[in-house]
C-alpha cells in the first residue's frame, strides 16, 4: 500500500507530506492533498495502479492551475471548476478531461461521506463531459489501408512486430507492450499469449498464437529485453504502468504518412482490435467466445478465470483465432 503511494508521489510535483493513518482521529475535513492520500490508501487494493495514478495526476494539474501547493475543499466552488474546465477544453482531449473530473469527484464524495464539515455539494458532478458521448468511436481500416500503414512502418521491426501481434490476436496495445517472455507458453499443447492483468477484470485471459505469427513470437521469446518481448517497452518506467506510449505515437505517424490526416482520425491502433472482433463475428464465432478472446465482460452471472475446466479450451480458441486473415498483407509476405 505504502509502495503504491510512494510511487505516485514520485511523479507528483506537489505531494509533500505522508498521509495520516486512516485510524487517526480527524475532527475536520482535510485539505485536498490529504484527501487524495486518504483516497489512495483506502482504494490501494481495490483500484488499479493506472487509476490511482490518474487520481494523483488530476490533483497535480488542478493545483497547478490554481497556482497553489494545496487547498481546502470548501474553497473550491462550481465557478472555479467550470473556469478550469473551459481552459482544459482548449488544451486536452475530452477523455482526459473526463478522467480529471471523475477522479476529483470521487475525492469530494469520499470527503462528504467521512467528514461532517465537508462540502455537501460536489462541484465536479453534473458537467456535460460526464456523459458517454465523449467516448471515442473507432473505425476499422478499409481493405488495402492497413497494408499501406504497415508498409509505412518501413524498417521499424519492433513496430511491425507489435502491429502483427495486434492484427492476429486483438490484444490491446498496452497488453502487447507489457508481454514478457514468460507470458508466451504452451497450455494443453497450444502456444498462447497469457495476459495476467489489464484494463478490466476480464482482461486476464489466454489467446492462442496464430500460426502465421508463431515463428515471430517464438523468436521474440528467445531474445527478451529485461524479460520483455520489446526493447522500447522495456525501457519505459511510468507510474501508471503504461508501456505503449511510444508505439501508439509511432503507429499514428505511420498512418498519417500512409493515409493522410483527413477522415482518418478514428482509425488508430485500437482499430485493429475492432477488426479482429468484426472478423470473428462475420465468421459466426459465438459472442461469448469473442468476449473471452478480447477480454470483454461476459455477463454479471459468469465469473471469469483465465483458464479453468469451465472455460473454453485452448484448442477451441485456436480454431477461432485461425479464422483471422489479411489477404492484402499476407499476399506480400
Greatest C-alpha distance within the chain:
71
**For residue 49, which of 237, 190, 235, 230 has the smallest C-alpha distance?**
237
Which pLDDT does position 300 carry in this prediction? Answer: 37
| Domain parsing of the chain, residue ranges | 2-133, 145-330
Q: How far apart, in whole angstroms, are the C-alpha atoms of residue 281 and residue 277?
A: 6
- Which cell numbers in the block locate residue 282? 462475420
CATH superfamily name and code, 145-330: Intergrase catalytic core (1.10.443.10)
Taking only the tens place, the pLDDT of each residue in 63-122 is 999 999 999 999 999 999 999 999 998 888 888 898 899 999 999 999 999 999 999 999
Nearest to 238 by CA among 45, 57, 34: 57
| The Cα angle at residue 198 between residues 330 and 88, in degrees rounded to 5 | 100
d(CA 222, CA 218): 6
Q: Are 122 and 102 in contact (CB under 8 A)?
A: no
Paired strand residues for 193: 184, 207
Count helices and strands (H / E) in the chain: 15, 3
CA pair distance 171, 213, nearest whole angstrom: 14
How much is the pLDDT for 279?
A: 96
Does residue 213 have a pLDDT over 90? yes
Alpha helices in the chain (DSSP H): 2-11, 32-43, 49-66, 78-88, 94-114, 145-152, 157-169, 173-177, 214-222, 231-235, 245-259, 270-282, 287-294, 314-321, 327-330
Assessment of whether the complete model's pTM goes beyond 0.85: no
Model pLDDT for residues 14-27, shown as the tens digit of each residue: 334 445 555 555 57
Q: 209, 191 in Cβ contact below 8 A?
A: yes
pLDDT tens figures, 124-155: 988 876 444 445 678 999 889 999 999 999 88
Instruction: Give the tens place of pLDDT for each residue, 240-261.
Output: 668 898 999 999 999 999 999 8
| Residue 200 grid coordinates | 478490466
Distance of CA 1 to the CA centre of its chain: 21
Q: Distance between CA atoms of 16 and 164, rounded to whole angstroms?
A: 45
Q: How far apart are CA 128 and CA 43, in angstroms?
A: 27
Among 203, 215, 236, smallest CA distance to 164 is for 215
Whether the Cβ atoms of residue 257 and residue 155 lie closer than 8 Å to each other? no
Looking at residue 257, what is its pLDDT? 94
Residue 42 pLDDT exceeds 70: yes
Residue 101 in contact with residue 85, Cβ under 8 Å? Answer: yes
Amino acid at each position: 500500500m505504502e509502495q503504491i503511494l510512494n510511487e505516485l508521489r514520485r511523479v507528483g510535483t506537489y505531494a509533500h507530506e505522508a498521509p495520516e493513518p486512516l485510524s487517526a482521529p480527524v475532527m475536520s475535513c482535510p485539505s485536498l492533498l490529504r484527501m487524495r492520500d486518504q483516497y489512495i490508501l483506502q482504494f490501494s487494493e481495490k483500484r488499479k495502479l493506472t487509476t490511482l495514478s490518474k487520481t494523483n495526476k488530476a490533483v497535480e494539474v488542478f493545483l497547478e492551475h490554481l497556482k497553489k501547493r494545496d487547498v481546502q475543499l470548501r474553497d473550491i466552488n462550481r465557478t472555479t471548476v467550470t473556469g478550469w474546465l473551459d481552459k482544459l477544453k482548449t488544451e486536452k482531449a475530452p477523455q482526459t478531461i473526463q478522467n480529471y473530473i471523475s477522479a476529483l469527484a470521487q475525492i469530494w464524495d469520499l470527503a462528504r461521506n467521512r467528514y461532517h464539515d465537508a462540502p455537501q455539494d460536489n462541484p465536479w458532478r453534473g458537467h456535460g463531459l460526464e456523459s458517454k458521448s465523449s467516448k471515442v468511436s473507432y473505425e476499422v481500416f478499409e481493405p488495402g489501408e492497413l497494408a499501406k500503414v504497415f508498409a509505412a512502418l518501413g524498417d521499424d521491426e519492433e513496430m511491425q512486430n507489435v502491429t502483427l501481434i495486434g492484427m492476429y490476436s486483438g490484444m490491446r496495445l498496452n497488453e502487447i507492450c507489457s508481454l514478457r517472455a514468460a507470458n508466451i507458453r504452451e497450455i494443453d499443447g497450444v502456444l498462447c499469449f497469457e495476459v495476467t492483468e489489464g484494463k478490466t477484470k476480464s482482461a486476464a485471459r489466454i489467446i492462442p498464437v496464430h500460426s502465421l505469427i508463431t515463428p515471430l513470437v517464438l523468436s521474440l521469446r528467445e531474445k527478451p529485453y529485461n524479460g520483455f518481448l520489446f526493447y522500447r517497452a522495456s525501457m519505459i518506467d511510468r507510474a501508471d504502468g503504461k508501456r505503449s506510449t511510444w508505439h501508439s505515437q509511432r503507429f499514428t505517424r505511420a498512418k498519417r504518412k500512409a493515409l493522410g490526416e483527413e477522415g482518418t482520425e478514428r482509425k488508430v491502433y485500437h482499430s485493429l482490435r475492432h477488426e479482429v472482433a468484426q472478423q470473428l463475428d462475420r465468421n459466426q464465432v459465438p459472442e461469448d467466445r469473442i468476449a473471452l478472446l478480447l477480454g470483454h465482460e461476459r455477463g454479471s452471472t459468469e465469473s471469469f478465470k483465465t483458464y479453468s475446466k469451465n472455460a473454453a479450451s485452448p484448442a477451441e480458441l485456436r480454431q477461432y483465432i485461425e479464422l483471422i486473415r489479411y489477404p492484402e498483407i499476407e499476399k506480400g509476405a
